[in-house]
Structure 1
């Protein structure tokens, strides 16, 4: 899908696009602030489809200003929340294809041209996600072998004789135990993904978060996945997650239902 930054705009505003959906009652967007206070979040016709857009100050959303905004963590979170709030309001009315954060055009006419060129792709995506929601599942297990020491015992002195061989054996055994623990963790992740994928129309494996990112150094995230699930199977998915928790002993975190960000772009 075409995206452009309003580098040298012809007017004081640019058009920010949140999402594309079918016909949408503008009242569903009433009261939303979006990313630019003072400009209403509104609809923009795309033939049989509708874009959810907002005018934004062009100078404040030019490429350099936008990059500076996204480099500020607090500002990035604010923008992401505002974007998601608008997408969620539109999705409450029917299937909605969310566009990426910072999708900007030089004006309404340019947005209509660019988005209209992708009208068939949008229509296919909307048909695909209708009646579905996205569910996220993260699986974590202890990062180390339960009951095993964190590291090998101190090496014996050179005169240790048999103690040296015993030390090497213990070190080798610890290494093998860690490898076996890691293999079991990966098999657990595969087993859980296999069960949940059977309940989903589609699934996507995402990059697991590192301990540095999660802040839980004692736990290892072995699965980070998204599942596109019909509304009639949501209870079945949640029941399966609870059963998998008990069967595997893993920490299985489930979140949703969400607008299907991970699947809306696929056709």
Structure 2
């Protein structure tokens, strides 16, 4: 839906769209700067729906400028936060479909027509997410330390053995058995981690209206030897907030895993490709 070209005159304007909803309260987002300081946020009627928009300089969102912005982490975070602040404020006043960061059009007429063309999808998303919030769930299992090196390994190449030295009877078999044991324990821990992930996911799926599994994050030193086994997000009715917290405590006790929850959020992950 985003219209962005290689370059526009510096004085040309564009319409940045934050979200689509039914009847947003303008007081909810009054005073927010949006992504263009000095330009007020406003409502744009699109048939029975309303978009929350802002006029921006088209030259600030060309392909070249936006790619440079994406490469600058602090600048990208600033824009993402400004976008999220507007979406959250609108969602606090009515069911809302958030649009992706940097969704813009060349003029109000283009914006209105494009949004009207997607009105059925917006309505379906509003019906699906009304009265719901998104909760993120991350599960970490303890990653045991690597076993200590074998104190008496069998040489892999006999020609490198000490002169006159001979492996003790059965040493080769014992060495292989130890290696098989290490591998078996590693596989067992992996299977246990998968079971923990399935148990936690099943618990939240029972409570949620919908759920999505996301790509696992690689383990990092800051996690103190823990590895992520589940990264998921769930669409949960707003009145079940206490149940989410109670379920998290129950699953922590039952699995022994570290379970982190975040939310409630505007349901970005459950509005579909809009």
Flag whether TM exceeds 0.5 (same fold).
Answer: yes
Residues 266, 59 of structure 1: alpha-carbon distance in 2 compared, 3 angstrom cutoff: closer
**Corresponding residue of 1:94:** 94
Q: Which among 211, 230, 239 is matched to residue 246 of structure 2?
A: 239
- Is 1:153 aligned to residue 150 of structure 2? yes
CA shift, 1:16, in A, is 1.1
8 Å CA contact 1:16–1:105 kept in 2: the answer is yes
Q: Counterpart in 2 of 1:216?
A: 223
Q: Measured at CA, do residues 174 and 127 of structure 1 come closer, stay the same or move farther in structure 2, by a change above 3 Å?
A: same
1:230 maps to 2:244: no
Q: Distance in 2 between matches of 1:14 and 1:43?
A: 15
Partner residue in 2 for 1:62 = 62
Task: Output one character per residue of 1:14-66: Cα deviation in whole Å (capped at 9) or x when no partner.
Answer: 11111111111222211111111111122111111111111111111111111
Q: Which residue of 2 aligns with 1:16?
A: 16
Rounded Cα–Cα distance in structure 2 between residues aligned with 1:71 and 1:116 = 33
- Equivalent residues of 1:6, 1:14 under 8 A apart: no
CA RMSD of aligned residues (A): 1.9
Tell me the residue number matched to 1:183: 191
- Look up the match of 1:3: 2
What are structure 2's unaligned runs of at least 5 residues? 159-165
CA distance in 1, matches of 2:6, 2:146: 58
Match of 1:74 in 2: 74
**Counterpart mapping for 1:156-167 below 5 A:** 156-157=154-155, 158=158, 159-161=166-168, 162-167=170-175
For 1:47, the equivalent position in structure 2 comes to: 47
Q: TM-score, normalised by structure 1?
A: 0.92
The structure with the larger Rg is: 2
Deviation of 1:215 (Å)? 4.1
- Partner of residue 113, structure 1: 113
Range 4-13 or range 33-42, more displaced: 4-13
Give deviations 1:119-161, integer Å, cap 9, x for gaps. Answer: 11101111111110011110000123xxx64454263344334
Q: How does 1:246-257 map to 2 (within 5 A)?
A: 246-257=253-264
Aligned equivalent of 1:203, options 207, 211, 220:
211
Q: Deviations over 1:86-123 (max 9, x none)?
A: 10000000111111112121121111111110011101
